[in-house]
Structure formats: C-alpha cells, structure tokens
Amino acid sequence: MSLAVGRWVVALVALAPFVGVQAWRERALLARHWRLIAACGAFGIAGYNALGYLALQTVPTTSVAFLNSTLPLMVPLAAVVLGVERITWKALLGIAISFIGVTWIVARGELASLIALHLGDGELLVLLAVSNYAVYSVLLRRKPAAISPLVFLAATIAAGLVVLMPFWAFELLRGARIPTDAASMGAVLYIGVFASLFAFILWGRCIATLGATVTGVSFHLVALCTALLAFVVLREPVRSFHIAGIALILLGFFVTTFRWAGRATAAADPSLS
C-alpha cells in the first residue's frame, strides 16, 4: 500500500503544476462527473496497483507475468458488459494469437511449465487486479470530451489516493515501515513519473484514439519489450522460444490493428459502402 500511495503522490505532484489552473476552470465539470472519476480512481489507480503488489508477495514473477497477459482478454469482455464497444472476430483472433505468444515465452517453450502453474489466493488477486484495470480501460472511453485529458487524469489519481488512504493507514498501524534509502526513493520516483504518469497519459491517449480492445492487445507487447531489454541491458541470450513467442505477439497485434485498404476507403467514403 505504501508503494501504491507513494507512486501516485509522486505522479500527482509532478502533474499538478501543469493542470492546476485548468482544473479550477473545469471544477464544475469535474463535480458533475464525479462518479466516473471515482470509479476510474478506484479501479485503475487504487485497485490494479495495490492488488498486484499484494499478490507479488506470494506469487512467483512468472505466474504474475502470465496472468497479467489476460488483460487483452478481459478488456473486450468488460467493454461488452459495460456497453462501450463491440468485439469483432478479427480482434478475438489477434488476441488469441498474441496470447499464445506470451504464454510460450512465459513457459520458456515448455508445456510442463504451464501445467505446473496453479491458481491460489495470490493468483486470484492478480486476476482481480487485471480485471480492475480492464474496467478502468473501458471506463476511459466515457470521459467527457469537455474535460481535458490531463485534468481528468489528475482528478482520477486524487480519487484513487482517497481510496488507498484507509488501507495505507491500516498497513502503517500494523507496523509497516517506509524505507528512505536512495535506491528505494529513486525507485518510487521512477515508478511515479514514468510507470505511472507518462504511461497512463499514453494509455489514455491510445484508448481515446484506438479504443479499449485494440489498446488492450498492445499489453502483450510488454513481453516483447522485456525480452529485448533483457538482451540489450542484461545480455541475456535470445532463445528459440523468445523468437517464436515474439513472432506470435507481433502477428496477433498486426491481425487486430490491420485494416484492409478497401474497407478503409469505404469507411472514408460512405457512398462506396
């Protein structure tokens, strides 16, 4: 809870100077849509991060990586349930292909590794965290155009912090201590600025432009980027299962996002439809 609160306090402090005046101008709009803001804060800011951190105390990283990759499967489901988007067969096919690629990388090309995975309380927490983020991703589509994206994000962060505060206080009362060494503070600053503020700005922009389903599929690219960074930074060797998995991830992403030229032309000119 301390890490969840710390990252979002850093993000909000970094964002505040750029949105403070605009937020004051849009205060009436923010008050009018407080329910949506509260829901986004509860699901995307508080629920996803805190539940994920709790799960990581007992769940192996490999299992978390595998279960996190269910996000693109959960986003279309949430979109349908909330009545925001429809699922196309092309999107489902792309999601399935890329999910197989992620699974192959996580299993390191060995089916026995997948069979060894099991769902305990910690794993269920991961799935609950991912479902929280799926709901948040879909709710972003309902953001009123009149509210500027950065103001909405700041309000959402503030709402999420309100939800987190009681749990954080309970954690501190139980004896938790916050480390103040340079490495820990540097980690929180990095997570707050890059993995929180910048990442959520880009995620919201993609959802507004591409929709929740297509953006959700991009989550599978995390496995690809991780493998590439491990090779470049840590000099970890690239194995055959990496190549096979990355190829499937890119193929699935291509299937989901590709538009045939004829259909794109028809969309641009209704008279051709």
Q: What type of residue is 77? A: L
pLDDT at 77 over 60: yes
Say what the pLDDT of residue 25 is. Answer: 95
Confidence of residue 273 (pLDDT cuts 50, 70, 90): very low
Question: pLDDT digit string (tens) for 100-157?
Answer: 877 777 677 777 766 666 666 777 888 899 899 989 988 998 999 999 999 999 999 9
Question: pLDDT digit string (tens) for 238-260?
Answer: 778 777 877 887 788 788 777 65
For residues 44 and 136, the answer to whether their CB atoms sit within 8 Å is: yes
Buried b (16+ CB within 10 A) or exposed e, 218-238: bbbeebbeebeeeeeeeeeee
pLDDT at 91 over 70: yes
User: Rounded to an integer, what distance in angstroms lies between the CA atom of residue 82 and that of residue 74?
Assistant: 12
Q: Which helix (H) or strand (E) holds 152?
A: helix 149-173
For all residues of the chain together, what is the average pLDDT?
83
Tokens of 172: 């501190």
